[in-house]
Amino acid sequence: MFKKEYVFYGSHADKVQALVSKFSNFSGSTLFRRNVDVLLFAPIVGFLFGKMSEVDKSKNRSTKIFIEQMIREDLRIRFNYQIITLLDKKNIIDDDKRIDSTFRNIEQEEAESELRRYNEYILGGVDILWEKLIEPAKLEQDYLNNLYDFLDAINDRYNETLTNDSVMDLYTLARR
């Protein structure tokens, strides 16, 4: 389902480019290494912040992810889809439906709406990332600060109480 070239369009293309651009003049001074990394982070971010954005084809700008990379990261891309879909109570109210969307329909080409939904999370995540990391940055060190603040906020909100152990317990539980 995901093993094809992915293209960011319009403003999202700009934002993605910004996210992978060097904010300083040393190598390694990019927040995200590759477009595909953005693709991996974006849906999680978009889902955590509940942001969904439509494709912006208004401008004729685009930036893509080559199929080789898509194939390489397919597992994770798929995982992201699954986890988001599984938990997306807002958009798929019905549990069974959700489970189906998560696990069953994944191979089917007809799951266009699911893909669209997922894509909107991706784009939403791009927007969030850009909004949080890039936009407010004025100086070099702001990028890293923004990233820290971003992570810190997430940590506060979601991960505070989580420990590896507690998650592992759940894991054990989840596995018959």
Contact footprint for another protein (CB under 8 A): 24, 26-33, 37, 40-41, 44-45, 47-48, 75-76, 79-80, 82-84, 86-87, 95, 99-100, 102-104, 106, 141, 144, 147-148, 151-152, 154-155, 158-159, 162-164, 166-168, 170-171, 173-175
Nearer to another protein, 31 or 123 (CB): 31
- For the bound state, the minimum distance from the C-beta of residue 156 to another protein, rounded and expressed in Å, comes to 10
- For the bound state, the minimum distance from the C-beta of residue 121 to another protein, rounded and expressed in Å, comes to 12
User: 8 phi and psi, to 5 degrees?
Assistant: -90, 140
Nearer to another protein, 59 or 167 (CB): 167
Closest to 67 (Cα-Cα) out of 1, 8, 4, 119: 4
The answer to whether 144 touches 152, Cβ cutoff 8 Å, is no
Question: In the structure encoding, which two tokens stand for residue 123, read together?
Answer: 């784009």
User: 170 phi and psi, to 5 degrees?
Assistant: -60, -40
- For the bound state, the minimum distance from the C-beta of residue 109 to another protein, rounded and expressed in Å, comes to 15
- For the bound state, the minimum distance from the C-beta of residue 96 to another protein, rounded and expressed in Å, comes to 9
- For the bound state, the minimum distance from the C-beta of residue 147 to another protein, rounded and expressed in Å, comes to 7
The answer to whether 1 touches 74, Cβ cutoff 8 Å, is no
Give 118's Cβ-side CA count (13 Å radius): 25
Nearer to another protein, 66 or 148 (CB): 148
Nearer to another protein, 56 or 140 (CB): 140
- Determine the Cα angle at 79 with ends 74 and 85, to 5°: 125
Q: Which residues contact 154 (CB under 8 A, 6 or more apart)?
A: 48
Nearer to another protein, 93 or 174 (CB): 174
